[in-house]
Every structure is written in C-alpha cells, then in structure tokens.
Structure 1
Amino acid sequence: MHTLPEWTDLRFFLELARAGTLSGASRRLEVEHTTVARRIDRLESQLGTTLFDRSREGYELTEMGHALLPHAEAMEGASLAALEQLGGTELGAQGVVRLGVPDVFGIRVVAPLLVKLLDTHPDLSIEMLSLARFANLANREADLGVMLDPPATGRYVVTRLASFRFYLYGSPAYLDRHPPIRSQADLERHDFVDYVQDRLASRELSYLNELGFTPRRRFCSLGMGAQVEAAALGMGLMMAPPYAIPDDGRLVPVLPGFYAERSFWLAAPTDLYRLRRVKVVWDLLRELADNNPSLWWVKGDIGRAA
C-alpha cells in the first residue's frame, strides 16, 4: 500500500458492507451506484486486497473486509463525535436519532415520552421505527434499539432494559360466550390470538408454547397491535405485557397466575453510543424502565419483581 485511503472511501465501504448491494449503498449515500463501485475499486487497489466477494445476490465481506470493518467503524464514530463537539452540542443534543422499538411499545410507551425530550432539545429529531420485528443494528438500520435478543457479536453497548411478563387477556364478550376459565387446563378449550409462527422476529415470542398444549390459533399477525385489536373484538385470548393493554375495559385479565417472563435489551453500536444525541435517548429509555414497574408487571407482582 503506497497511499492511505481517504475517509470518504471508507464511508463508501461501510455503507456497502451494511446494505449488501450497490443500489442500497447508493441510496444511503445519495450518489449513483457506479460511484459506489468506483470508490470500492479504488479502496481495494490502495489496500492491495479484496474487501468484497461479488455475486448476483450482492456484495459480501471477505475475511479482509471483516478485518477492516471495526477500524472503519471506529473512524466513523470519531468523525461523528468530532463534528458533534465542534457543533457546540456538549450541553444540548442535536441531529437525528433513529430508534428501533417493538410496535406497541413504541406507540403506547415511547412516543408520549418524546414530547418532553424534544422540548428540552429543540435541535434534536427522532425517527422512531415501530416495527413488527427488531431493528437491525448491524447494518445501521437504527442508532439504538430495544429488542428481545441482544447482539451476540460485534461492538455494542448492551444493557438489560427491563424484565417483564406476558399475561393472559380476553374481551368480556369472548369470555361471556365461552367456557369458564378456572385453571390452566381449561385454556385448552379456548381460541387464541398470536404471532404468525413461521415469521417470528424472535424465538422469545413463542410464549404460547408454555401453555403445555398446542393452542388453537384463530387469528395471527406479525405485530402485537393487530393482536390487541383482534382479541378486543373477541377473536380469542391473547398474551401481552401490561403496557400493551388499553385502559378502556375492552380486554381484562384471565387466569392471573399464569404468565411467561421475558427481558427487553437496549443496545447501540459502541461508536454511536458516545454521541450526545444517542445518549440522551438511551438515558430516557433507562429512566422509563427503572421508574415505571407497572409497564412490566401487574400490580400484585410488582412487589415480588426481582
């Protein structure tokens, strides 16, 4: 290698590694796909190595590409931090933060909190991805995310956000026209609302398997929002955490002693976690989780929560 690569070429490398295709990287960078290809060719020539395996399906990192990736990410993080500091944002956060959250959690819990945050930081903007799946942090789909499965590899800051329980709920109308539920064994005669089983965003969402029998799923969807509405309309029983249940009487607890326990994790790439704008959103979610046990547990369980 006779010359050091330009930082802009490394940006092109990062976006292609994250997108996997020239067209995807070009959209992220707002340039023509031929520009992306030319920059990657130049970078590989300067480094004297092949960074990507090309195929009809797209671009996949080689062993040398994987070796370069953490260094390029560290340079990106340092660049972002420098720009943030030079912009005078040590005290106030500014810029755009993309937050990935589960659909109902984002809509019912996180969105209302953002009003005060944005008032406090007038130069901050939030892009909230309320998804029926979990945001992909590896390809920088989001700057930080709430998920059931924490990243197992890569450079991330990860913390357990909260332990919570899925409880059984049903609509009064459904319960009136179906057999009474006095024990877990009675549940076998009932209909259920659940996730589409071959499209689960995480194996942690297969909590109905803990019923001890194969449930009769009458309605399934990719997201919990649709499940809440279906259960409220009387299509079957559902399991959900307390924060997902509307406070309007359309769904009531069923067999309170039965539940499935899970954990939410909060994660961000290490280089992005250092940014002021990401950190203020991180701290907001941590404060939310620590000070609102009723989101995660029903009233009788809060005092026994670990």
Structure 2
Amino acid sequence: MLKKATFAILSLMASSLVSAGTMGPTCVPGDVTVPCEVKKWDIGVQALYLEPVYGLHHGYTFHPIGTIRDIENDWDWGYRLEGSYHFNTGNDITITWLHYDNEFDSSGYAGFTPFTGTLLIPFNISHDERFDQVNLVMGQHVDMGLLKNARFYAGLQYARVRIDRDHVFSIPVPFLAPDGFTISRDTDFNGVGPVVGIDYAYDLAHGFSITANTAGSILYGSSRLNNNLIFAPSGLVPINIYASKKSIVPSLEAKLGLNYAHEFAQGVFNIEGGYQVLNYFNVLQVTGFPINTLENVDFGLYGPYLGVKWVGYA
C-alpha cells in the first residue's frame, strides 16, 4: 500500500514538472500581438471634398464700405491614392498621394492701390490653389485584444503648396493701364521631411469598424513670395516684389471615419467614409494685412472623404 502511494505521489510530481516546462497560451484576449506571417497587397482611392483655410494675413481684406471681411474660399474636389505591400508579421511598405486643385473667382472686396492713396478701390479675386502630399512609409500592424488594432508607421513626406491670387482692379489708369490693372500675390512652399502616424480601428459588428488616424511631420524646404503689379492690356510689370527663404514647417492631420469590410476568397473589399483635417504651420510667405509687411501664415484643408480599398492575397 505504501509503495502504491509513493508511486502516485512521484507520478504527480513528474506531471507537474513537465507542465511547468511547457509554454502557456500565446493568444489571450487583451494581449498586444502581431499577426501571423502573410503576404498581401492593397490599392485604394478616396474622393475628397475640401475647403482651404488660411491665417489672418491671407484670409482677410477690406469690404468696399471700409469694414474687414474674410476672403471667401470655395469647396472643391481632390483625391488620395494609396498602394501597399504587406509582408512578414504585420509589416508593410505604403505610398500615398493626396492631390487638391481649386480654381474660382470671388468679388466684393476693396483695397489700396499705388494710384489712389488711402482711397479703397473695389476689386475681384481670381484664385488658383494647389496642394500635393506624398508619403512613403513603413508600418507595423498590432492587435490589441479582440476588437482593437492599430498600425504605427514612419517614413518620409513631400509636400507642395502653391497659392496664386490675382486682385483684379477694373479702374483705368490714364495712359498706363486703360483697361485697369492686376496685383498678383503668388506664394508657394516645397519641402520634405520625416512623418510619423497611427491608424486605429475598433471593430463593431457585421464588418463595420470605427477608424481614426493622426499624423505629424516636420518638413524642410523653400518658401517663396512673388508679387507683381500688371498693367492691362499691355502686360507691363512696373513693380515686382520677390522673397525666398528656407523654412522648417511642422504639420498635423487627423481623420475620423467608419469602415465596412467584406471578405471574398481572393481578398477583402473596404468602403470608408469620414472627415479629415490637416494643417501646415507658418508654411507660406504673404504680404501682411492691413500693413504690407512680410508675414508667415498657416495653410489647412478640411472636409469629408469617401473611398474604397481592395486588399488582395499575394
């Protein structure tokens, strides 16, 4: 009897030692894990409906009655293209291109001219606003429990902002400009630098998820200003003001949206819509308002977006 009891105790101890030497569960709800190794690719496109916004010195002017009014900015369409290659355990290489181009005319403004002293003269504005942003980044996908996941990424960003404004005065200047004159105010920035960001998703049900993104960059590049007084109809330019400098420009952007994903045998089809904002700080050199000093102003875009993306298995 004693031998049987001793054998049972030794067997239990051996079993405990064997269990202690094995690994515990590797997938526990609430843990932060990376996906299994897989190769995928994706391509996506988004339609953007955006309005630009500027700082004080490029966003306001005078009303013909002498009060201060904001310069109207029109909404227009843009697009964002995206392509990625996914490899290893949740890694990816991604390139994106955001393009926005807006041309429109507005009226109901007044300003000072070289010919009228302190008298406010009515004018119209012809706007041409262009923005391009290209990101080349590497990302890492992580799962944070059963419902939450995030993608951390870092890489390089290139951005170009170009704003051309023509203040068109119809008042004639005898002998010099019988058809009036234009004061052009053109400004641009080209820069490149590091960018970091986070894509976040919270799964709901039936393929839906809440998505969010935040990103920031610090760009180094050239900021230029070019102002001209142009006589009509001759095209003569008696006054030109040009300035150029190297600038360090930080930026921030954020998105909040809703995504629907539908799985197929060959991949996953996604539809996403939401709202986005982005801002580049002190990115443009402009002529100050109301005093003609050289100033730096922000440039931003905000508005809704809607897009589709296909994620295929390599």
What TM-score do you get using the length of structure 1 for normalisation?
A: 0.21
Structure (1/2) with the larger helix percentage: 1
Q: Which has the higher contact order (CA 8 A, sep 6+)?
A: 1
Highest Rg: 1 or 2? 2
Structure (1/2) with the larger strand percentage: 2
